Structure 1
Amino acid sequence: MTRTVYLNGDYLPETEARVSVFDRGFLMADGVYEVTSVLDGKLIDFAGHCVRLARSLSELEMKNPHSDAEWLAIHRELVARNGIVDGMVYLQVTRGNPGDRDFAYPGPETEPTVVLFTQSKPGLAENPAAKTGWKVISIPDIRWGRRDIKTVQLLYPSMGKMAAKKAGVDDSWFVEEGVVTEGTSNNAYIVKGNKIITRQLSNDILHGITRAAVLRFAVEAQMEVEERPFTIAEAQGADEAFITSASAFVMPVVEVDGKAVGAGKPGAVVTRLREIYLDEMRKAAV
């Protein structure tokens, strides 16, 4: 069935949606995006995604084309039109088409290009990988220095995903100056005893929306949280490890660079965090 997508104010069949070849998102990767999960037809942690979208746009000196209420209405309309029960809504804002190709970009008065589409993922929260866990490898982190901005510059993360696929594992963890930054599309954590360790917020990592919620729930559940970098060796010697993202939620990591983490299977802390996160997010979904 042909999906309905949103493009600059119009709801269109995906086969009819067109963007200019001079759009800076196409020519320069000059744009930002968000992905919001849908469970039981409702949006998960939507307010957090709006806050991060506004921050990303501001950091790139782009105007936000919609209010939070307008964004919510567009998301809900797409979910309804496409009959999404479980899945995701992808949102992208680029600097638009100011004219001919030029490295210098125009001011915030330029009308951005706004695209949204849905992806149906039946049983998204019942991902069987949560029962077995992910295996990851480490690769050098050679991305640009503003990873806190959720831009569409995703070539190296894509290469990292492909490196993992070729190695027969699930994902890659980026390593810079001897410590882990994050996964290709997720934040990374280890667990030692009752302590959750994850890198502190900075320009070096994406400020994950799921990350913020999970750390809040962990503190409420009387778990200790330490925000600092950790090494691959620390991860291999940890009791448990996991990642968080808007689509994987809380996903156990059971192997790092060929070495089992803990017992080599999802542990009690990560399993409990996933349960708490999904339960609380469903309660708060819009």
Structure 2
Amino acid sequence: MSIAYLNGEYLPLEEARISPLDRGFLFGDGIYEVIPYYNGKSVGLMPHINRMINGLSIIEIKNSHTADEWKTLLDDLIAKNSDLGENLGVYVHISRGTDTKRNHAYPENVEPTIFCFAFGIKSPEPADRTKVHQYSLISTEDLRWQRCHIKSTALLGNVIHYQEGHSSGNDEALLYNAKGELTEGSSCNAFIVKDGVISTPIQDNQILPGITRRIIIDSIKADGSLKLEERTVTMDEVRNADEVWVTSSSKEIAPVTKLDGKPVGNGEVGEIWEKAFNIYTAAKFDY
């Protein structure tokens, strides 16, 4: 039985109740995070927490916990759900809270709703080009809002794009802006490889500051054996890349071998993916 946390109380997930006047329900007015734990060890826990705290500040939701208090809360929740398996994810959802009416303006004197629950996740993919799951994607113009750097619970734009990929029998949708420049996936960040050089879009308001993305960039630069650039990436470059990856806390580094029905590179998982995945795997529990 999954144990959830709701506004200071641990309780069975099926007993958790939130008012329909909660602004998270009415407006998607909130911030969320999803954090993986493998055999009780978190990946990027403090970067996730700090991103969440920053997001709360940007949209002016009161945060009554320090980063260390958040860490203790989430570690405790994982411990209470150890019967769910060795590998768990924890979902954290903080809305502005429940008002007495529906009004677009931020209400005063309401307490945020804090909801967290744990769930089983799959084991990490093997760092083996012959065994890893290969992803198939479509590409489509990015029609979401212009504040994608905020990890908002208002995910309808992402959901619609993700469904485009799902409905066409693919794993994801890769997005590009009106200039034909790569932004990210509907639920992930994106990288390409050409002639041994790894490239990923610059962090701006068009993409989420992904924690896995940051661990990949930092660990590869620290290792020094691969070249990585943060820069503008065009869709022409994506379509002519030797490798394409999508990255997230749940996917880690997922190799894409088909885009819009055509093979990426030679249609096989690349050597650079394998090297990068090994570097990331060695470093991920350090964050």
With normalisation by structure 1, the TM-score equals 0.93
- Superposed, 1:173-192 pairs within 5 Å as 173-177=174-178, 178-192=180-194
- Which whole-Å CA distance do the structure 2 matches of 1:258 and 1:220 have between them? 36
Shift of 1:203: 0.9
- Partner residue, 1:218: 220
Q: Contact 2:6–2:16 at 8 Å: present in 1 too?
A: yes
Q: Contact 1:132–1:265 at 8 Å: present in 2 too?
A: no
Residues 33-76 of structure 1: per-residue CA shift (max 9 Å, x gap): 00101111121111100110011111101121311121111111
- Partner residue, 2:67: 68
Shift of 1:125: 4.3
In the TM superposition, structure 1's runs of 4+ consecutive aligned residues that sit over 3 Å from their partners are: 124-130
Aligned residues: 282
Q: Contact 1:235–1:256 at 8 Å: present in 2 too?
A: no
- Which whole-Å CA distance do the structure 1 matches of 2:64 and 2:125 have between them? 31
Aligned to 2:94, the other structure's residue is in SS state: strand
Determine if the alignment matches structure 1 residue 230 to structure 2 residue 233.
yes
Aligned to 2:132, the other structure's residue is in SS state: helix
Identity of aligned residues (%): 36
Q: Which runs of 5+ in 2 are unaligned?
A: none
- Partner residue, 2:55: 56
- Which whole-Å CA distance do the structure 2 matches of 1:127 and 1:96 have between them? 43
- Which whole-Å CA distance do the structure 2 matches of 1:154 and 1:209 have between them? 18
- Partner residue, 2:18: 19
Q: CA, structure 1 residues 27+127, in 2 after alignment: closer, same or farther (shift >3 Å)?
A: farther
Tell me which moved more, 213-222 or 37-46. 213-222
Letter aligned with residue 112 of structure 1: P
Partner residue of 1:245 out of 248, 273, 276 = 248
Q: Contact 1:95–1:110 at 8 Å: present in 2 too?
A: yes
Q: Which runs of 5+ in 1 are unaligned?
A: none
Q: CA, structure 1 residues 239+128, in 2 after alignment: closer, same or farther (shift >3 Å)?
A: closer
- Which whole-Å CA distance do the structure 2 matches of 1:231 and 1:264 have between them? 20
What is the RMSD of the two structures over their aligned residues, measured on CA atoms?
1.8
Q: CA, structure 1 residues 132+10, in 2 after alignment: closer, same or farther (shift >3 Å)?
A: closer
- Which whole-Å CA distance do the structure 2 matches of 1:97 and 1:176 have between them? 36
Tell me which moved more, 15-24 or 258-267. 258-267
Tell me which moved more, 35-44 or 3-12. 35-44
Determine if the alignment matches structure 1 residue 161 to structure 2 residue 128.
no
Aligned to 2:10, the other structure's residue is in SS state: strand
Q: Contact 1:236–1:255 at 8 Å: present in 2 too?
A: no
Aligned to 2:184, the other structure's residue is in SS state: strand
Aligned to 2:153, the other structure's residue is in SS state: coil
- Partner residue, 1:111: 111
